[in-house]
């Protein structure tokens, strides 16, 4: 059985040219992974005691709980699409309320 690969934060950051974009990508991933752990989607906490993302941060199928296997990838794509849009005055990368909204929508879909 293959352990499917879903997210490599280091590799995603390397796709960015500007340092600002690398940092924003890390913040987006940190918020997503912290939220996912708090909601019981990940087995292990990817955040250290000081609130920093533990690097390298790689999420595989084996990293996900049963609920995580059902919704993590969809949540990841929704969150990345949302945070990629920089229009308006919203600090999208730190808008955890939107993550909560996406999470609740996905929970309804699987029930």
Domain boundary assignment for the chain: 5-110
H or E element, residue 59:
strand 58-60
Under 8 Å CB-to-CB from 87, ≥6 apart: which residues? none
> Given a cut of 80, is residue 102 above it in pLDDT?
yes
Burial group, residue 88, by CB count within 10 angstroms (0-12, 13-18, 19+) = exposed
Model-wide pTM > 0.85: yes
Q: Residues of 22-33 as b/e, b for ≥16 C-beta within 10 angstroms?
A: eebbbebbbbbb
| Mean pLDDT (the chain, rounded) | 92
Nearest-CA neighbor of 105 among 87, 68, 78?
A: 78
pLDDT tens string 31-78: 999 999 999 999 999 999 998 888 889 999 999 999 999 999 999 999
pLDDT, average across residues 2-18: 91
The number of angstroms, rounded, from the C-alpha of 42 to the middle of its chain's C-alpha atoms is 11
Which pLDDT does position 1 carry in this prediction?
53
């Amino acid at each position: 059985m293959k352990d499917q690969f879903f997210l490599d934060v280091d590799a995603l950051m390397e796709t960015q040219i500007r340092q600002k974009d690398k940092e924003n990508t890390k913040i987006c991933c940190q918020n997503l992974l912290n939220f996912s752990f708090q909601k019981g989607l990940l087995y292990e906490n990817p955040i250290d005691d000081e609130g920093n993302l533990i690097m390298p941060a790689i999420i595989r199928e084996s990293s996900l709980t049963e609920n995580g296997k059902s919704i993590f990838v969809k949540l990841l794509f929704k969150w990345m699409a949302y945070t990629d849009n920089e229009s308006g005055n919203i600090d999208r990368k730190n808008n955890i309320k939107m993550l909560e909204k996406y999470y609740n929508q996905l929970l309804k879909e699987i029930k």
